[in-house]
């Protein structure tokens, strides 16, 4: 979830609805830490119209240097009777309100404003800002000799000529701003977030392709990048489709993004009701199309499970097929390496048989048994009843008591760290986390499966989930009337784990959403029980 401050309808407001406060300051010098304000001038605009002006001289409490007087025309005699900054600042902050601050080289002006705010006991201003210098550099740098305010004002035929007085310079900057907004509109910049990112956009050959996003809505959904052959080359999700897609053109210099944009020919957007639906849809589309640029989330060629074999002395086995054979499984895992890590973790926790030797076929036990890390029936001295205790402990851990497996691993990790064997302790930590994650996801899957159909809501987002699979979403209070069948479905042992990596990853997204603090379960077809919390491991 995005915890950053958002405003103006998640920054999707049209520029005509955004209040801009164009301001300028005059000072005794160039450093906010050692110099002071001598004048503030500001003009507030809404929809291109002036809705207010602010101007005042300020007594800096010190002599104004002669070169500043020559530059601005402000003399010490002019400010000696002027109010001090602590008197001026509250009124100016009220005038600003929640406007977007605008200035020419606005960092300079905001720097002095923040210094004054801190001096008077206020916090720094948090308003978003637009720099006309940055916009001009992006939009008209090839049309004009330099990007000084005087040059831009003349270029755009401003009725006000800048003269190094705050209000006049603010008026001229306001005229330049609106001229630049007209230019930006030809690039499809019509909303605030587009404007804020425009100065960082690179002038690459792919920049004109940003127009492909013009028809995308500002709603949650997924976007599909396609090449000239209409092949899907990338799938992504977004809370705001148009904003997210346009962000690819704002200065990301990674080679992977450049290659993606080089191949891009068209963009398809699919609107989703909720962010959860967008995340699920993205996952399903990636597994369907296997886009070559979705490297991290690309589906694996095969799924892997850790399985308890069906023998008199069962052992763990890595398999690539899920069968309804009445046996215990963990997984699925994206790779054999991930499955092996979990299997090794179980070996660290319990002395489960490791060798493949036929029971009683050797005169001595195998190396694993000699080292005391496994109980193996190689020499025929281990009875089935004795070994059953190990298997019962393993099954109890899988079916509700994960600490039976995790506690021994934690103890080994602590002992290794105490002995300063930090590398081995790190290996044990990784095994612990892999096993904890696998057991947590297995219990979550079984909890959703046993509940059957689930209706839940988080804030304004609602979801209907059935057998661990997302069916549909909605925005509250428009909850659809969905029948929930109370008849108990027939389950097989194979249902104890997801049937594929896709099903497992979708279930994990759903469970993460259901586990959010404010998510409310408003209806289920069968009792819904949250499994015991798998113990976390501190970093």
Distance of CA 175 to the CA centre of its chain: 37
d(CA 348, CA 55): 74
Asked if residue 216 and residue 188 are part of one domain, the reply reads no
How would residue 11 be classed by pLDDT, with cut points 50, 70 and 90? very low
Residues 313-329 have a mean pLDDT of 92
**φ, ψ for residue 305, nearest 5 deg:** -130, 155
CA torsion 142-144-147-148 (nearest 10°) is 180
Does 298 reside within a domain? no
Residue 463 is inside which H or E element, if any? Answer: strand 461-466
DSSP calls for 173-226: HHHHHHHHHHHHHTTT--BHHHHHHGGG----TTGGGGGGGTT--SSSEEEEEE
CA angle, 406 then 410 then 411, to 5°: 120
The answer to whether 393 and 308 have CB atoms below 8 angstroms apart is no
Q: SS3 of 237, please?
A: strand
Asked if residue 284 and residue 205 are part of one domain, the reply reads yes
Does 294 reside within a domain? no
User: What CATH number corresponds to the domain at position 256?
Assistant: 3.40.1440.10
Choose the final residue of a domain: 417, 442, 467. 442
Give the per-residue pLDDT at 415. Answer: 95
How many folded domains does the chain comprise?
Answer: 4
Does 533 reside within a domain? no
Contacts of 515 (CB under 8 A, 6+ apart): none
Q: What is the pLDDT of residues 496-539, one digit of tens each?
A: 899 999 999 999 999 999 999 889 998 899 888 888 666 666 55
Q: Give the C-alpha distances (Å, rounded to integers) separating 270 from 36, 221, 228, 454.
A: 53, 5, 20, 25
The answer to whether 38 and 28 have CB atoms below 8 angstroms apart is yes
Closest CA to 467 of 435, 506, 410, 430: 506
Which residue is listed with tokens 């851990």? 397
Asked if residue 386 and residue 310 are part of one domain, the reply reads yes
d(CA 440, CA 532): 9
Which residue is listed with tokens 């028809």? 215
The answer to whether 466 and 487 have CB atoms below 8 angstroms apart is no
Contacts of 490 (CB under 8 A, 6+ apart): none
Asked if residue 318 and residue 253 are part of one domain, the reply reads no
Give the per-residue pLDDT at 478. Answer: 72
Does 13 reside within a domain? yes
Asked if residue 222 and residue 177 are part of one domain, the reply reads no
d(CA 261, CA 490): 49
Asked if residue 149 and residue 15 are part of one domain, the reply reads yes
Q: What is the pLDDT of residues 135-170, one digit of tens each?
A: 998 889 889 989 999 999 999 999 999 999 999 999
Higher pLDDT, residue 449 or 539? 449
d(CA 139, CA 247): 18
Give the per-residue pLDDT at 79. Answer: 94
Q: What is the pLDDT of residues 29-48, one digit of tens each?
A: 999 999 999 999 999 999 99
Contacts of 502 (CB under 8 A, 6+ apart): 283, 284, 287, 299
> Which residues does residue 22 pair with via DSSP β-bridges, in sequence order?
43, 102
Q: Which domain holds residue 337?
A: 304-442
Q: What is the pLDDT of residues 85-118, one digit of tens each?
A: 999 999 999 999 999 999 999 999 999 999 999 9
Of residues 76, 104, 155, 164, which has the active-site annotation? 164
Least confident stretch, 167-171, 320-324, 394-398, 530-534: 530-534
12: Cα within 13 Å, side-chain hemisphere: 14
Asked if residue 244 and residue 156 are part of one domain, the reply reads no
* Cα torsion angle, 526, 454, 503, 410, sign: negative
> What is the rounded end-to-end Cα distance, in angstroms, of the chain?
22
Choose the final residue of a domain: 442, 457, 474. 442
Give the per-residue pLDDT at 490. Answer: 58
Asked if residue 320 and residue 430 are part of one domain, the reply reads yes
Beta strands in 28-99 (DSSP E): 37-46, 49-57
Give the per-residue pLDDT at 325. Answer: 86
Closest CA to 266 of 281, 245, 239, 288: 245
Asked if residue 137 and residue 185 are part of one domain, the reply reads yes
Closest CA to 317 of 295, 289, 340, 349: 340
Tokens encoding 499: 């049937």
d(CA 290, CA 234): 8
Give the per-residue pLDDT at 209. Answer: 86
d(CA 12, CA 9): 6
Asked if residue 283 and residue 185 are part of one domain, the reply reads no
Choose the final residue of a domain: 257, 289, 321. 289
Q: Is 287 a catalytic residue?
A: no
Closest CA to 165 of 251, 79, 230: 79
Higher pLDDT, residue 191 or 68? 68
Does 407 reside within a domain? yes
Output the pTM of the full model. Answer: 0.70
* Cα torsion angle, 311, 313, 314, 317, sign: negative
* Cα torsion angle, 261, 264, 267, 273, sign: negative
Count of Cβ atoms closer than 10 Å to residue 270 Cβ: 16
Contacts of 476 (CB under 8 A, 6+ apart): 457, 459, 460, 461, 462
Does 178 reside within a domain? yes
Asked if residue 155 and residue 91 are part of one domain, the reply reads yes
20: Cα within 13 Å, side-chain hemisphere: 33
Asked if residue 235 and residue 333 are part of one domain, the reply reads no
User: What CATH number corresponds to the domain at position 167?
Assistant: 3.30.420.10
Count of Cβ atoms closer than 10 Å to residue 411 Cβ: 12
Residues 115-141 have a mean pLDDT of 93
Does 299 reside within a domain? no
Count of Cβ atoms closer than 10 Å to residue 275 Cβ: 19
Does 253 reside within a domain? yes
- For the chain, count helices (H), then strands (E): 18, 15
């Amino acid at each position: 979830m995005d915890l950053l401050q958002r405003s103006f309808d998640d920054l999707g407001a049209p520029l005509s609805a955004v209040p801009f406060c164009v301001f300028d300051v005059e000072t005794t010098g160039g450093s906010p830490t050692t110099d002071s304000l001598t004048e503030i001038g500001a003009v507030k605009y809404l929809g291109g119209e002036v809705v207010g002006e602010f101007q005042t001289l300020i007594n800096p409490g010190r002599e104004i240097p002669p070169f500043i007087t020559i530059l601005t025309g402000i003399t010490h005699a002019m400010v000696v009777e002027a109010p001090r900054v602590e008197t001026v600042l509250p009124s100016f902050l009220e005038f600003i309100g929640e406007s977007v601050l605008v200035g020419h080289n606005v960092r300079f002006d905001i720097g002095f404003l923040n210094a004054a705010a801190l001096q008077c006991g206020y916090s720094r201003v948090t308003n978003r800002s637009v720099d006309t210098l940055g916009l001009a550099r992006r939009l008209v740098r090839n049309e004009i000799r330099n990007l000084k305010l005087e040059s831009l004002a003349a270029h755009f035929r401003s009725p006000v000529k800048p003269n190094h007085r705050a209000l006049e310079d603010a008026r001229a900057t306001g005229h330049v701003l609106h001229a630049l907004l007209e230019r930006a509109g030809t690039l499809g910049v019509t909303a605030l977030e587009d404007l804020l990112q425009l100065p960082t956009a690179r002038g690459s050959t792919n920049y004109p392709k940003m127009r492909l996003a013009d028809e995308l809505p500002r709603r949650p959904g997924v976007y599909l990048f396609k090449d000239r052959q209409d092949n899907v080359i990338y799938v992504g999700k977004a809370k705001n489709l148009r904003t997210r897609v346009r962000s690819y053109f704002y200065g990301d210099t990674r080679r992977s993004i450049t290659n993606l944009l080089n191949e891009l020919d068209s963009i398809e957007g699919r609107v989703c009701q909720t962010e959860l639906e967008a995340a699920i849809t993205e996952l399903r589309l990636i597994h369907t199309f296997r886009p070559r640029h979705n490297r991290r989330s690309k589906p694996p060629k095969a799924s892997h499970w850790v399985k308890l074999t069906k023998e008199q002395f069962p052992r763990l086995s890595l398999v690539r097929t899920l069968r309804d054979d009445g046996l215990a499984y963990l997984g699925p895992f994206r790779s054999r390496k991930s499955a092996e890590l979990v299997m090794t973790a179980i070996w660290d926790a319990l002395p489960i048989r490791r060798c493949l030797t036929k029971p009683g076929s050797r005169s001595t036990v195998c190396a694993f048994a000699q080292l005391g890390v496994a109980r193996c029936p190689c020499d025929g001295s281990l009875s089935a009843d004795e070994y059953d205790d190990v298997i019962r402990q393993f099954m109890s851990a899988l079916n509700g008591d994960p600490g039976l497996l995790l506690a021994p691993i934690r103890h080994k990790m602590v002992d290794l760290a105490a002995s300063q064997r930090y590398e081995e302790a790190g290996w044990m930590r990784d095994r612990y986390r892999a096993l904890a994650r696998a057991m947590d996801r297995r219990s979550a899957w079984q909890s959703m499966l046993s509940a059957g159909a689930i209706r839940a809501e988080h804030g304004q987002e609602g979801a209907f989930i059935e057998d661990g699979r997302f069916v549909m979403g909605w925005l509250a209070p428009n909850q659809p009337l969905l029948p929930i069948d109370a008849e108990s479905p027939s389950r097989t042992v194979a249902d104890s784990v997801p049937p594929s990596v896709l099903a497992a990853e979708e279930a994990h997204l759903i469970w993460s959403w259901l586990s959010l603090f404010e998510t409310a379960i408003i209806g289920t077809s069968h009792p819904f029980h949250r499994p015991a919390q798998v113990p976390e491991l501190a970093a």
